[in-house]
């Protein structure tokens, strides 16, 4: 079945440590996104990528980094510069920038990151 | 600016009641797309429906129905005869024609009590 796989489901970070969240899709989508969700809150965009080897900052990119070396993969690194990383992280993908633009985003199951 | 407002933070209903979740959006574009997603306790977002700005026809899918009104910039979602399995957080989202991204509302947490 086509879909988006995020791993791990739960992740713990020590102070000063970088951690990487994995996101893989087999939907052949061009665009991929990372969102952060805090308890009881909506989604905030961290980074997005419309095409391989290109990505753009979202609303809350500080303390995060990404790469897009392959169409299928869009890993997110939470760096030690992100002082409050505890949150639920969701990866999504969509067909891309071309028409039709009414195509929805498809989401993974998310990764819960906590500080040790 | 593009914005989505979901004024209802939390709603509780008893099973079999009807419930309407409100969504109000703002955009200057004449062409845009609206979406509803469901986030059950497990966490993943599930796509429910999309609507284009040039199609104001309301839609019904089983117990779910959507009322799109451009005059009031609203895209409301009604669940008829609610069930416990409908308990989730529901998000309304907007994408405009030349935008790269989706703008999500803050979500409405629906609790359906047995």
Express each pLDDT in B5-55 by its tens digit.
999 999 999 999 999 999 999 998 888 999 999 999 989 999 999 998 988
Task: List the single residue in A42, A56, A103 with the smallest CB-CB distance to B91.
Answer: A42
- Pairing relation of β-strands A111-115 and A10-13? parallel
Confidence class of residue B59 from pLDDT cuts 50, 70 and 90?
confident
Q: What is the rounded CA–CA span in Å between residue B43 and residue A94?
A: 19
Q: What is the DSSP string of B38-101?
A: EE-TT---EEEEEEETT----EEETTEEEEEEGGGTEEEEEESS--GGG-EEEEEEEEETT-SS
pLDDT band at B111 (very low <50, low <70, confident <90, very high): very high
Dihedral over Cα of B38, B96, A94, A87: its sign: negative
Number of other CB atoms surrounding residue A2 within 10 Å:
9
Give the CB-side neighbour count of residue A71, counting CA atoms within 13 A: 8
What is the token pair recorded at A29? Answer: 């989508």
CB B68 within 8 A of CB B56: yes
Q: Closest residue of B to A103, CA-based? A: B50
In the stretch 64-93 of chain B, residues with CB closer than 8 A to chain A read: 91, 93
- Residues of chain B positioned with their CB less than 8 A from the CB of A38: none
Q: Do B47 and A33 touch (CB under 8 A)?
A: no
Enumerate the residues of chain B whose CB falls inside 8 A of the CB of residue A106: 47
pLDDT at residue B112, as a whole number? 97
Alpha-carbon gap, residue B90 to A50, rounded angstroms? 26
In this complex, the residue of A31, A48, A109 whose CB is nearest that of residue B43 is A109
pLDDT at B101 over 80: no
Q: Looking at the complex, does the CB of residue B8 fall below 8 Å from at least one CB of chain A?
A: no
């Amino acid at each position: 079945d086509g879909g988006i796989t995020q791993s791990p489901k739960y992740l713990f970070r020590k102070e000063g440590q970088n951690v990487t969240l994995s996101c893989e899709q087999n939907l052949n989508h061009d665009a991929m996104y990372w969102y952060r969700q805090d308890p009881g809150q909506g989604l905030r965009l961290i980074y997005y990528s419309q095409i391989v080897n290109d990505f753009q900052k979202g609303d809350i990119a500080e303390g995060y980094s990404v790469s897009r070396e392959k169409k299928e993969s869009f890993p997110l690194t939470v760096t030690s510069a992100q002082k409050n990383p505890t949150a639920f992280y969701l990866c999504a993908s969509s067909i891309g920038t071309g028409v039709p633009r009414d195509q929805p985003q498809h989401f993974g199951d998310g990764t819960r990151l906590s500080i040790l | 600016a593009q914005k989505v407002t979901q004024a209802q933070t939390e709603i509780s209903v008893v099973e079999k009641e009807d419930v309407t979740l409100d969504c109000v959006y703002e955009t200057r574009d004449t062409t845009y797309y609206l979406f509803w997603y469901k986030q059950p306790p497990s966490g993943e977002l599930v796509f429910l429906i999309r609507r284009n700005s040039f199609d104001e026809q309301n839609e019904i899918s089983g117990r779910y129905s959507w009322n799109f009104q451009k005059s009031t910039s609203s895209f409301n979602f009604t669940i008829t005869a609610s069930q416990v399995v409908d308990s989730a957080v529901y998000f309304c989202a907007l994408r405009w024609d030349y935008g790269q991204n989706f703008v999500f509302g803050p979500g409405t947490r629906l609790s359906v009590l047995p």
